[in-house]
């Protein structure tokens, strides 16, 4: 199986180019993501699709990508990209790109195009697809890599849906991007572990336009020896659970990016699509004041959580050391849950 690990930035994707001629469609079988931003050859610009034109101005469609977020290494899973914009935008095109694993069509409505920049196959439509009541659905498969990227626990699927009126002109069309992060479900125990509890903690998750996660575990007990050696032998995973079900995992690998501090270790990698910061601080000689701080932000941090946690009475966060199974965690329920909406969760202890 092909797996591209050097393509770090989330892929842009583009779809369904048309010319000015009423019945002549340029690249109606899709284009690759590297062409999307270009002024003359891309999508959603004055030379191709644009939301402008005669009033009313074309509204942006709702684009959603659905499918399994927790996957088994090497497994093949089915996903859908839905483009919805009832009204004059009766057709749609699509493009899906990924930085890990392999995409494949499941019917004759999509096909693979190689991206000459990334070297990876991307999935796009074979022709503009007519929707039903303003909604167009594309189905495809994605095969997970055999093992997780050593620098990330997530693989990001990036999809563009382009809602078009199919009139052969540049105007009245609009494209929107959607992301879906998947996680390797062997990184964490299937159910929460018994972990060291803190005197205080906070878990904040934002799953809106910009993803963000922070977990702070403080006023607890930990020695420097408990941390192992993350520079050579100890990897760390922040495991998230909704009740007893695994809901997310963010990996920090063993690497030279770990620096020693006076109380433990600090990891920082601004390019990571998992956690970018992880600080492990042990007790001082006279106080119970150990502290763990985990932070991840950006569109690709691998938090495929479905918010709000409507079916979960308890949300648990646990930081687990792979070398010795030491873990530090906390659970939030009842009054400890301060916010639980479609785009944000906040638990405070």
Per residue of the chain (349 residues), give pLDDT as tens. Answer: 433 333 333 333 333 333 333 344 556 666 666 665 444 444 555 455 655 554 455 677 888 888 887 787 788 999 999 998 867 678 888 889 987 889 999 998 999 988 888 888 999 999 889 988 889 999 999 998 876 544 445 677 888 888 888 776 666 677 778 878 776 666 788 889 999 999 999 999 987 667 789 999 999 999 999 999 999 999 999 988 888 888 777 888 899 999 999 999 999 998 887 789 999 999 988 888 999 999 988 655 555 456 777 666 899 999 999 899 999 999 999 999 999 887 889 999 9
- Please report the pLDDT score of residue 43 as a whole number: 56
Partner residues linked to 245 by β-bridges:
242
- Give the pLDDT confidence score for residue 75 in this predicted structure: 87
What is residue 185's predicted lDDT score, i.e. its pLDDT? 66
Provide the pLDDT for residue 210: 74
Residue 321, CA distances (Å) to 236, 286, 296, 312 in order? 5, 25, 18, 26
pTM of the model: 0.60
Q: Report the pLDDT value the prediction gives residue 236, as an integer from 0 to 100.
A: 93
Q: Spell out the domain ranges in the chain.
A: 33-184, 200-348
Peptide bond into 56 cis (omega under 30): yes
**In the prediction, which pLDDT does 313 show?**
87
- The structure tokens listed for 25 are 């469609």
In this prediction, residue 20 carries a pLDDT of 33
**Which neighbouring-strand residues pair with 136?**
83
For CA atoms 147, 34, 130, 85, the dihedral sign is positive
* Class of the CATH domain delimited by 33-184: mainly beta
Alpha helices in 97-231 (DSSP H): none
Cβ distance 251 to 235 under 8 Å?
A: yes
Q: By 3-state DSSP, what share of the chain in percent is helix, strand and coil, each rounded to 5?
A: 5, 45, 55
């Amino acid at each position: 199986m092909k797996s591209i690990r050097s393509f770090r930035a989330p892929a842009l994707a583009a779809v369904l180019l048309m010319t000015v001629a009423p019945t002549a469609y340029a690249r109606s079988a899709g284009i690759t993501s590297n062409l999307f931003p270009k002024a003359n050859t891309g999508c959603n610009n004055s030379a191709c699709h644009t939301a402008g034109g005669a009033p009313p101005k074309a509204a942006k469609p709702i684009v959603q990508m659905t499918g399994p977020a927790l996957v088994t290494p090497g497994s093949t899973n089915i996903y859908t990209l839905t483009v919805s914009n009832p009204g004059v935008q009766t057709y749609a095109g699509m493009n899906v790109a990924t930085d890990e694993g392999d995409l494949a069509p499941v019917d004759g409505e999509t096909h693979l195009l190689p991206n000459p920049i990334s070297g990876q196959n991307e999935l796009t439509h074979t022709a503009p697809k007519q929707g039903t009541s303003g909604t167009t659905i594309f189905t495809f498969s994605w095969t997970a890599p055999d093992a997780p990227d050593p620098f990330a626990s997530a693989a990001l699927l990036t999809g563009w849906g382009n809602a078009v009126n199919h009139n052969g002109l540049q105007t009245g069309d609009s494209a929107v991007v959607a992301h879906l992060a998947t996680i390797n479900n062997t990184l964490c125990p299937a159910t929460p572990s018994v972990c060291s509890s803190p005197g205080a903690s906070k878990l904040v998750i934002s799953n809106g336009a910009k993803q963000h996660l922070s977990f702070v575990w403080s006023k607890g007990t930990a020695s420097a020896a408990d941390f192992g050696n993350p520079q050579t032998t100890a990897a760390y995973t922040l495991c998230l659970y909704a009740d007893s079900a695994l809901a997310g995992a963010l990996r920090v690998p063993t690497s030279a990016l770990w620096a020693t501090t006076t109380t433990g270790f600090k990891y920082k990698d601004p390019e990571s699509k998992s956690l970018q910061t992880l600080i492990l601080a042990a007790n001082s000689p006279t106080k119970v004041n150990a502290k763990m701080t985990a932070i991840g932000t950006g569109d690709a941090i691998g938090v495929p959580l479905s918010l709000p946690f409507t079916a979960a009475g308890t949300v648990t966060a646990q930081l687990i050391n792979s070398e010795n199974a030491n873990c530090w965690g906390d659970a939030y329920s009842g009054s400890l849950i301060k916010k639980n909406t479609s785009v944000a969760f906040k638990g405070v202890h």
